Every structure is written in C-alpha cells, then in structure tokens.
Structure 1
Amino acid sequence: MNKLAFLLLGILLTSSSGQKSELDDIRLVIFFSVDQMSPHLLNQYEPLYTGGFRWLIDHSIQFTNTHYEHGYTATGPGHFVMASGQHPGPNGILGNYWYDRELKHTVSCVEDTVSKVVGYEGDARSYRQINTNTIGDWLKNRHPDSKVYSVAGKDRSAAMMGGKHADLALYYNWRGSFITSSYYIDALPEWLIKYNKKLNAVSYRDSLWTRSLPFEVYDRYAHEDFLEGESDRYHSEPYSPVFPIGFDADASDKDVVEGFFGFPWMDRATIDLAKVIVHEEGLGQDKNPDILFVGLSATDAIVHDYGPNSHEAMDAMLKIDRCLKNLISTVEDVVGLENVFFVLTSDHGGLALPEYRQKMGLPGGRISRPERKTAIQDVFILLEKHYGSSNFVVNDGLGFYYDLGRMREMDIKKTDVDTIIRESVEKVTGIARVLTKDEIFSSHSGDTVLARLKNSFHPVKSPDLWILQKKYWVTKYPHGTGHGTPYDYDTHVPLLFSKAGQKKTIVSRKIMMVDIAPTIAAMLGINIPKGIDGVPITEMQK
C-alpha cells in the first residue's frame, strides 16, 4: 500500500475524524449495485419477493426520488459516482469507453496498460488512471486495517466500486472465470482458484433458463412473453424470444462462456463468490469496518435484450431475490446482521422496449442504425468535398472529435464543420439535436438536460459535438432497449439503506446519487474529502 498516497489524501480531508459514528457497531458495509435496475424493476415485483430483496426493503430507509445528475448514463460513470461522490465528466470519466485523442483509439474507463492479468486470460483492469478517491479509500485512510473488496460481472463495475486502494477487485473475463489484475495482487488466492474450477461455466451448455414461478404469475405482472422488439438468444431457429432459454445446439465453448454472462447464472455466481469472500477474507470480524461491493451485471444484459417489463427481467429479479437471501443468511451467521449495513442501488435506469411503449399508447421509437450510418457517411463525403480531406474528424459512438491543430493548418472554421455535421445528422429520425461542447459548457442549471450533459463532459477529453437522441428513443436496433440519456427514466434509480431493526421508511424528496458515498462516510464516522459534489443525506444522520 502506498503510504505517501494516504498521507496526501489525509491532507485533503476535512477534520471530522474522531466524531462519534451514527453506527458505531457497524463492522461491515455491503453495497449492492444491480445493473440497469430502474425503480420499476424493484417496485413492480415487490409483492413477489420473499428473500433478500424482501429483507432489504422491509428493513430500509428507501429514497424513491433518487437521480444521477450526469447526462451519459452508463455503467462506468454510474459506479464511479456511487463510490466517489463526484460527477464523472470533470474527473475524465466520459462513459464506458471513449476516443482518446492522444492515443488515437478507443479506451476503457478502467484501462490499465501497466498491469497484467493474474493467473488467467483476459483484460487487466483497475482504477489506476483515475485521480480521485472513493469511499473505500476514505475508509482505509481512517482505518488502515479495514478491508475493501469488490466483485462484479463487469470489470468497470468492480474497479470503479473498489477504488484506488481496494484489497481486491474481481470481474468476469468472458472466458469462464473471475479474474483480477496485478494492480491488486501478484498471486491468486487459493479460494479463487477453487471457486473458478467449481464454477465451470462451460458446463452450462445444456442448461435452460426457466421460470421460477407459474406462467400465469408472469402474465399478471409483466407483458406477454412473446413481444416484438425483444432479442432472441437462439440464432439458429425462427424468431421466438420466449422461455425456456439456452444455447444453440451448435454453440462453441467460446459461445457458452461468453453467453453465460447474459443469464441469471452470472449474478448467482457473483453472489456466491461474494459469500466466499466474506468467509475466506474474514470480513466484519474486528473493530475496523470493512466494505464489500457486489455488482450484479447480468441484469443489464437481460434488460437490454428483453426490456424491464418482460418475463425475463421479472424472473431475473426473482432469482436475485433468492440468491441474496442466501448471502444475507451467510452474513448473519458469520458477522451478525446487527453489525452489517446494506446499500442497494443501481448504476443507471432504463427505458421500456419502444414496441411496448407504442402498444401502450406512449411515445417511443428506435433510431435506425442504417439511417444513422448513412448520415455519418454523408458527413465524411461532404467534408471530403469541401476540404479535400476528412481526416481531421473522428466519429466514435455519439461523439465527433476534431483535430483542431490540423483544422488550423487547413484554415478550416470549426463552426463550418459543426454545420455540416448538424445538417446531416439532425435529419435522422429520433435525433433531437447535435450539441457543441461550448453549448453544453455554457448551459445553466435551469436546463436539466444540458446541465446533466455538462456533468458528463470534460473540457479537454470530451468530443466537440454530441448527438442527443429524442426522449423515449433508443439507439438499440433492431431489438432490445437501452439507456445513456440525460432523461429522467435513465437517471432515476432505487436507493435503499438497510439494517437489522430499521423500520421501513419511505422518503420522497429528491436525492442525488453523489450523496451516497459521503452519507456512508458520515455514518461510519470517517473523513469526507473537501470538494466532492455530494453531501451526507440528512435523513440518514438522525
């Protein structure tokens, strides 16, 4: 552990150390993040929960109007916010991936070109490139012997939650194993090797995902099982996105271990590994409070494919409910629930399938991928026509990046290029506006959409132009749904703080997700860094 880093961190912190904690008996904080869990997913099926969700809800202070206040709502930025208490853009977290002007290629938000994967194949990931600290780092500054672990299906979820000084961040490698990088450790713990061997993801080749409850229960709480717009996991049969769901008969081993990620089995495996960590690493066993972050990533793939109102999304939540019950029971036996504090939230919300919204008489649609592709191709054709070259503009996702130095050499006006791109892209059905970086940075708090986009932008790293889709339109095409906008349905997430003995309480006032980390810090009596965007939630200090 870097002692100098902790010393410098301590200098930046406020002087609140030594104050009595609101929860002096807490020895373990368990932080659950369920990927793309809109409030609908938690609330719609609440009457059916009998396990972990049931316990967490019944023993919670629940904040029903909680929002992210950044505009590009995705996994990397969301997990950064919940752990750091800061908006992502000013800290250089533009999304899950973005185009790096200096490197001239797309990079991951948890890129680590220095570290190596330990013991397995996969990508080395960590918090190395991020300069700010997280709740786990604040905790270790106050209690150096505290332990901070994170486990998730996605690498960006695990690394973002764990922070700079996590003892270990584990994530799925899409090859059948949970892995980590040499940023954290040099050799794998024996318990992880045993766990991966037992997991044996390739053995799920002949497994089928089936419903947990009778069909009629799903018909009562969700839309019909066959709905146009859902994705179909089977590729060698006619389109039929219904239960049961498995792998094609000719699926390769690679297909199976990669596809495993998109089934409820992935989240069960993550929760099972969290139980192993509690046991093997002795979490919550002394006066130094520990933190365990658990990121359930399969829900994102499932909701992307089938939508939040589907039989599949409903069943995924029911299966998580059962698995969380087992984890909570384990924690009760090992640590004692009176010594544990739980947080439940999500990294972003999401939108119902456009076809479902249309069926319900609500606005919504899909942005045609071919139409969008043609519009972008037209941009580069026009640039070539006007300037004899287009190599000063790069399109990456929803952004256009300019080589301003090259443009100056060619005496090209930025505003002229803006106009060419806007006139082409804004013709695409479902596109609201093409915004310049200057427009976003000059926005005021009265414009919620632009204010949120501003919190996703960095003055140097962000694109020069940004494509904003219309409200209730998705870029997923031709099936599935998505997120990533500054609209309320993507920023709105559940937030529960749960503890044994807590009476169920509902708070409806608006809360910002940047408030979570400082709230946990205040409750544990640890220092909160100056200059972060969030503040402790008042209701949690009573």
Structure 2
Amino acid sequence: MGGSVYSTPLTPNLMKFKFLACALSLSLCFGSTHAAPPKAPKLVVAIVVDQLRYDYLERFHHQFTEGGFRLLTDQGAFMTFAQYDYSPTITAPGHASYFSGSPPMAHGIIGNEWFDKRTGQPMYCVSDPDVTGVGTAPDAKAGKMSPRNFIGATVADQMRLHWGSKVVAISVKDRGAILPGGKKPAGAYWFESATGHFITSSYYMPELPDWVKTFNDSKQAEAMIGQTWERLLDEKEYPTPDDGAGESQLTGESTSTFPHKVIKEEKDGYESILSTPFGNQLLAEFAKAAIEGEKLGQGSRPDLLCVSFSSNDYCGHKFGPYSHEAQDITLRLDRQFADFFAYLDKKVGLANIAIVLTADHGVCPAPEYAQSQGLDGARPAVSDLMNELQNKLVERFGPGRYFLGAKIGFKPRLTDGNLYYNHPVLVEKQLAPETVTAFVREWALSTGVFHAVYGREQLLDGRAPGVIGQRVMNGFNGERSGDIVFVQKPFAIPGSGKPGTGTTHGSPFSYDTHIPVLFYGSAFKTGRYADEFHITDIAPTLSAALGIQEPPSCMGKPMVKILK
C-alpha cells in the first residue's frame, strides 16, 4: 500500500512555510498576478459634456487656458480614438453606458424615449409614475423621475458597495443626473425650467437638503435672464461664418448671429438659459454647492460627484458643430472648468482627486451646412416615407394596421429608427415577421434615404456584419427595441424634405460616435493614446484604477496601458 506523499505530518508552521515557498516559486515563474491597488482618491469627479465632439478638443486646443481642458489633455491620459460602440448615439443611452460599462443591449436604455410594447404607450427613459416631485409640486411631471428603467448598476453603485461612498449626481437634464448616479445615491438633482430650481423625486428623499434650498433661494437662474452672450474672443478667431447655413436662433431672437440675449418666455420658463454658457455656469455653481453641502472629499472614504453639462447640447442642436456659438460655448466651458478645477484644488487638492471626462455623443453638421461644403446633407421627409410604407404594405398584403404606435390613418411611428410590428395583425394574415421585414428592407433601400435596415431576428442572432451592423446590434435590446431598425445615410437627419434649421445626433457614424475620453489623477499615466477604446471601457478602467469590482453587466475591458 502506497505511503503518504509527505513522510512526516505537517505542522502549522511547516504548512505556512511550504505555502510561501510555493507562492514564491509561482511568482518567479509567472510574475505577480495582481498589482497592488492604488491609493484611493478622496473624491472622484465624473464629468459628461453633452454633445462634446472629439474634434473640438483638437480644433480649439490653442484657444484653451492652462487650467481648463488642458489640465486633462496635457496632464491626463487622453484617449484620442474613443468611440461609441453602439447606436443610437443619444443622451440617455450615453449616460447609462459610460458609467455602467454596458451598451443598451444590456442596460435597456435604448433611447431618450421608446415604445413600450406592454402598455402601448411611449416610455420616457427615467419616468416613474410611482414617485412624486421633491422641491416642486408633488404631481409635477418634471419630478416624477427615477432610475428604475435602468437595468444593472454603475461605478457609483460599486463605490457604495466597496466603500460606502457618498454619491451625488447633478445636471440640468433629469436623465443626465439620474442615469450615471446609480440606484441609491445620496442625491440626484436636476433643473426644472418652469421654476428655475434644482429638484429631485421621492425615490431619493422626502425633502430637499438645506443646501439645495439655499441654492434655489439665491435665484441664480433669475439673475441670468436678460444677460447678453458676447463672443469670448475677437471675431477673427472664429474661422467659420457667423451665419452658417442651417443655423437656428435662440428663444425670442430673430437672428442666428452674435450677440445673443437671454430672453424668458412664459411657456418655456427658464429654459432659454440652457442654450447658452449661462446654463453651464449655473451647473458649475451648483456643483460647488454640492461639494460644500455634502462635504464631498472630506471624509475617510472616496466620494463621487457626477456632473453632466448639457448646455453644449442645447446650443449645438440650434447652431451646429461649425458655428461661432459651438466654438464659443466650448471656449467658455474651458474657462468654467479652469475655475472649477481651481476650486477643487483649494477644497480637496487635485492630488487627492480622480477625474474622468467624456461626452454622451457627438453631433451631425446641419445638413444645409454640409451641402455648402459639397457633402450629401439632407432632411428627408421620414414621416411622409412612413405613410408611403404603410400604403405599400396595404398594396402587397391587404388592409391592416401593421405597426404599433401608429396614429390616425395607421401612419407608422419611427422612434430613433425603430418600428414595432402589430403582431396580432401579422398572425391574422398568417404573415411571418421575417416576410414583412424583407419587404420593408427592399422598399427602404429603394428610397435612396437609408444606409441599412436590420430585422429583429437578424440582430438577436448577431447577423449584422461590419462596424455599422455591430453598433446597431449593441444598441438593440430584445425586450424594448423594435422589430426593424432603420439607419439613415450620413449627413442626413429627419426633416420635411425641405431646407430647415438646426441639427441632431443618433447615428452610428463618426461625427456622432467619436468622442473624447480623459482620465486625470495619480492612478493614470499622462499621454495621448490612439488605441482602440470604447465608451464601455470607461467603467472597467476607472474600476481597475480604484481597485473595485466593475459593474455587473460591464462588457468593456480596462485600458491597463494607462494605469500606473
């Protein structure tokens, strides 16, 4: 009978010795398996600039100050080829993805709004009928918001689980504050245009904290009404025309050129502020109040402040990315950041802070401006095309309401490229969804308007080839997305078929997907990195830098190259 592999019994000390010897041997063979986690910062500041295209940081770099964007681009880790790896590139999915590390396929926020197949009604991304407004009328629509439609968790939740961190999330947009802040922050606050106040909902708390009440009582929004927005620099420093094709106007104005005045109209309340640099200034002051009021960065645990600056988006929709206004609001945001970062240095110390900055999407040039530059800009009358589609289906398959969400006359409703089939009608007519999809695809591609059309089964099965197809698949959620997804051609946005003003985003093309990602702090190596990097890589990279578990549905990977 064979004896034991050990000739003598192992004492506790001998066992410990053999374990350490084995570990040392493995270490010599393979190296250390995990680097020691970095010293945790006192405060993490997660910034989103709504509609900040990557190229803005290159085009305007020479006009930035030392302490603003340059603090991050020159002294941080700058991911210069960061991309959204899904479509649609819209505010709500962007805010849900960058801090969760997952695309809409997983977190379920497929747009700012989608069609709820169970209720037959539109669903706003953060709406919650079971909560009431706090800081506003309890039944005010602006206050009936929460993160319950979001599936999963964010870095904010992981910091709470790991350290019990205090998390505060703010924005002038409800979705900009609610989605990054996770499920149970200390507070999420957004701006109510009707009152000029920052509010929250009963999901978070029964009453506003005193510091928020004090800020609201200061009536800073009211003080911005009547202010004039002048160019920051001399006019010759803005190389494009001030009246570029396709530009719109601010509220109450009749011209698209500088100077601009903030005009309050009764029906819009204080919303006119938000399309100007004053909107960013208001939020920056509220961010300082949050740090003071919640004593962020003053304790033994790392805290988190999520701040989403939305005014660049409001402005960009009106004037486009090559306008004087888009350039000027970015330059002024740079100065506002310089002031905010100086405040952080004085209050907490930049050596004790980690900063991550990105954008939720880019933006398409106004189609008229694209045309003036020889590009194929267009505002196709998509609504009319949907009417045509309904008529074509009737001709081919007989009368019927083929789509959910259809209005009077069975007119299909296209929501961020999604159409939803009325499946009982298809069953009644013994039509397989794939048969209808094949017909719709051939019709759509014959119009000259659409770049691609994808069916539900195709997307769920992963049969959408190429970069564009992969982005559409990543943005497709089996529970909430439609039965067919349309992608318009580059430089085309929905319109009336005639020249118009303003622009938008949402496509899988680079002007919407290419955004800046910047990491700043002692855990990151300074430099410019043109490596492949996706928006879903932010959460795991930040988690690795902090030494915490990444969010549960995270599909990205950490960029270890930039970590010390």
Per the TM superposition, whether the score is higher than 0.5 is yes
2:400 maps to 1:389: yes
SS in 1 for 2:487: strand
Report the alpha carbon displacement of residue 533 of structure 1 after superposing the two structures with TM: 0.3
CA distance in 2, matches of 1:393, 1:273: 42
Alignment correspondent of 1:260: 273
SS in 2 for 1:170: strand
Alignment of 1:176-191 (within 5 A): 176-191=196-211
> Contact conserved, 1:118 with 1:188, CA < 8 A, in 2?
yes
Alignment correspondent of 1:209: 229
- Structure 1's 262 and 530: CA in aligned 2 closer, same or farther, altered over 3 A? closer
2:392 maps to 1:375: no
- Structure 1's 256 and 245: CA in aligned 2 closer, same or farther, altered over 3 A? farther
CA distance in 2, matches of 1:150, 1:254: 28
CA distance in 2, matches of 1:500, 1:458: 37
Report the alpha carbon displacement of residue 379 of structure 1 after superposing the two structures with TM: 2.6
Alignment correspondent of 1:511: 533
> Contact conserved, 1:376 with 1:425, CA < 8 A, in 2?
no
Alignment correspondent of 1:35: 50
2:82 maps to 1:91: no
The one of 131, 134, 145 aligned to 1:115: 131
Letter in 1 for 2:519: F
Alignment correspondent of 1:480: 502
CA distance in 2, matches of 1:252, 1:355: 28
The one of 302, 321, 325 aligned to 1:289: 302
Report the alpha carbon displacement of residue 75 of structure 1 after superposing the two structures with TM: 0.8
CA distance in 2, matches of 1:527, 1:258: 39
Q: Which 5+ residue runs of structure 1 have no aligned equivalent?
A: 1-18
> Contact conserved, 2:250 with 2:260, CA < 8 A, in 1?
yes
- Structure 1's 435 and 528: CA in aligned 2 closer, same or farther, altered over 3 A? closer
SS in 1 for 2:420: strand
CA distance in 2, matches of 1:172, 1:424: 44
Alignment correspondent of 2:169: 150
Report the alpha carbon displacement of residue 309 of structure 1 after superposing the two structures with TM: 1.6
> Contact conserved, 2:193 with 2:268, CA < 8 A, in 1?
no
Larger Rg: 2
The one of 168, 175, 180 aligned to 2:187: 168
> Contact conserved, 2:96 with 2:107, CA < 8 A, in 1?
no
- Structure 1's 384 and 358: CA in aligned 2 closer, same or farther, altered over 3 A? closer
> Contact conserved, 1:177 with 1:196, CA < 8 A, in 2?
yes
- Structure 1's 236 and 218: CA in aligned 2 closer, same or farther, altered over 3 A? closer
2:386 maps to 1:366: no
Report the alpha carbon displacement of residue 134 of structure 1 after superposing the two structures with TM: 0.5
> Contact conserved, 1:476 with 1:482, CA < 8 A, in 2?
no
Aligned residues with identical type, % of pairs:
31
Alignment correspondent of 1:57: 73
CA distance in 1, matches of 2:537, 2:452: 31
Report the alpha carbon displacement of residue 391 of structure 1 after superposing the two structures with TM: 5.7
The one of 321, 324, 328 aligned to 1:311: 324
CA distance in 1, matches of 2:321, 2:502: 10
Letter in 2 for 1:409: E
Tell which has more relative contact order, 1 or 2 (C-alpha 8 A, sep 6+): 1
The more displaced of 28-37 and 524-533 is 524-533
The one of 245, 266, 283 aligned to 1:228: 245
Tell me the alpha carbon deviations over residues 385-415 of structure 1, each in whole angstroms, 9 at most, x when there is no partner.
5433216543232221012234213433434
The more displaced of 302-311 and 193-202 is 193-202
Letter in 2 for 1:367: R
The one of 358, 361, 364 aligned to 1:345: 358
Tell me the alpha carbon deviations over residues 226-256 of structure 1, each in whole angstroms, 9 at most, x when there is no partner.
111111225663xx311112256xx533334
The one of 528, 533, 542 aligned to 2:555: 533
CA distance in 1, matches of 2:390, 2:262: 40
Q: How many residue pairs end up in the alignment?
A: 513
The one of 133, 140, 144 aligned to 2:160: 140
CA distance in 2, matches of 1:426, 1:174: 42
Report the alpha carbon displacement of residue 198 of structure 1 after superposing the two structures with TM: 1.9
- Structure 1's 427 and 194: CA in aligned 2 closer, same or farther, altered over 3 A? farther
Report the alpha carbon displacement of residue 324 of structure 1 after superposing the two structures with TM: 1.3
- Structure 1's 419 and 519: CA in aligned 2 closer, same or farther, altered over 3 A? closer
- Structure 1's 21 and 312: CA in aligned 2 closer, same or farther, altered over 3 A? farther
CA distance in 2, matches of 1:257, 1:444: 47
CA distance in 2, matches of 1:514, 1:26: 22
2:283 maps to 1:270: yes
Report the alpha carbon displacement of residue 472 of structure 1 after superposing the two structures with TM: 2.7
Letter in 1 for 2:385: A
Poorly superposed stretches of 4+, deviation over 6 Å: 500-503
The more displaced of 195-204 and 89-98 is 195-204
Tell me the alpha carbon deviations over residues 439-479 of structure 1, each in whole angstroms, 9 at most, x when there is no partner.
33344585111111001111232101111101232236621
CA distance in 2, matches of 1:100, 1:180: 25
> Contact conserved, 1:367 with 1:431, CA < 8 A, in 2?
no
Letter in 2 for 1:198: S
- Structure 1's 54 and 181: CA in aligned 2 closer, same or farther, altered over 3 A? same
The more displaced of 428-437 and 260-269 is 428-437
Report the alpha carbon displacement of residue 78 of structure 1 after superposing the two structures with TM: 0.9
CA distance in 2, matches of 1:418, 1:525: 47
The more displaced of 373-382 and 184-193 is 373-382
Letter in 2 for 1:396: L
Aligned Cα root-mean-square deviation (Å)? 2.3
Letter in 2 for 1:118: V
CA distance in 1, matches of 2:124, 2:155: 22
2:507 maps to 1:520: no
Report the alpha carbon displacement of residue 153 of structure 1 after superposing the two structures with TM: 1.6
CA distance in 2, matches of 1:312, 1:155: 24
Letter in 2 for 1:488: S
Report the alpha carbon displacement of residue 429 of structure 1 after superposing the two structures with TM: 4.5
The more displaced of 524-533 and 320-329 is 524-533
- Structure 1's 502 and 443: CA in aligned 2 closer, same or farther, altered over 3 A? closer
The one of 246, 249, 271 aligned to 2:261: 246
Report the alpha carbon displacement of residue 380 of structure 1 after superposing the two structures with TM: 2.8
CA distance in 2, matches of 1:337, 1:532: 28
SS in 2 for 1:84: coil
- Structure 1's 429 and 298: CA in aligned 2 closer, same or farther, altered over 3 A? farther
Report the alpha carbon displacement of residue 111 of structure 1 after superposing the two structures with TM: 2.1
> Contact conserved, 1:126 with 1:159, CA < 8 A, in 2?
yes
Alignment correspondent of 1:12: none
- The normalised TM-score by structure 1 is 0.89
CA distance in 2, matches of 1:502, 1:465: 42
CA distance in 2, matches of 1:508, 1:379: 43
CA distance in 2, matches of 1:412, 1:157: 41
Report the alpha carbon displacement of residue 269 of structure 1 after superposing the two structures with TM: 0.8
Alignment correspondent of 1:435: 454
Tell me the alpha carbon deviations over residues 345-367 of structure 1, each in whole angstroms, 9 at most, x when there is no partner.
11112222333333333x33123
Tell me the alpha carbon deviations over residues 85-122 of structure 1, each in whole angstroms, 9 at most, x when there is no partner.
11112332211110001111111121222211102142
- Structure 1's 202 and 396: CA in aligned 2 closer, same or farther, altered over 3 A? farther
